[in-house]
Amino acid sequence: MTEPRFLADDNVGRLARWLRVLGYDTLYLKGLQDEELIAVAAREGRVLLTRDRQLVRRRLAAARGARTFLVGPEDLEGQLRQVAEAFGLDKGQRPFSRCLECNLPLVDREKDEVRGRVPPYVFQTQGQFRECPGCHRLYWRGTHWGHMMKKVDSLTRLGGGGEA
């Protein structure tokens, strides 16, 4: 079974970001009309995640071959849990492997390659760096990474229904 690819509408932007944190291919295209979202989902074989009941009920999505998924919970953890259970996702598979901004897979960079591109303290204290090949944003395991990792660890085991 191939791993699902997602497209999130404006109603589930935080969910999109956290699916990326967990390593899942999730487009988040702000400001698109329903017809445009459906066209992208159909063309790219993505599941359109939304909280918009009207969008899910529209026949246009089915007619164009787009899959939609109605996200019910308002809270982020509930949304993640619902999507994970529906699509068999696992939170521990490969967290922090995608750019949080543009969704591209991150590329490992040698320390010397980032010299002058990160603050001096970060350069001195960190040994592993990753870069987005699209927007060139750099990532490292600093304090923000630690806080995000605690959030990931606090989520229940996404795909299995038990505790992590």
Above 90 in pLDDT, residue 164? no
Domains defined along the chain, listed by start: 6-87 (3.40.50.10050), 107-154 (no CATH)
Distances (CA, A) of 21 to 2, 17, 98, 161: 19, 6, 7, 20
Contact 159, 89 (CB under 8 A): yes
- Full-prediction pTM beyond 0.95? no
Return d(Cα 133, Cα 138) in angstroms, integer: 10
User: Which residue reads 């990931």 in tokens?
Assistant: 152
What do you get for the CA distance between the two ends of the chain, in Å? 23
- Of 108, 158, 101, the C-alpha closest to 135 is 101
Report the pLDDT value the prediction gives residue 94, as an integer from 0 to 100.
Answer: 82
Question: pLDDT of 117-163, one tens digit each?
Answer: 999 999 999 999 999 999 999 999 887 777 777 777 766 445 444 33
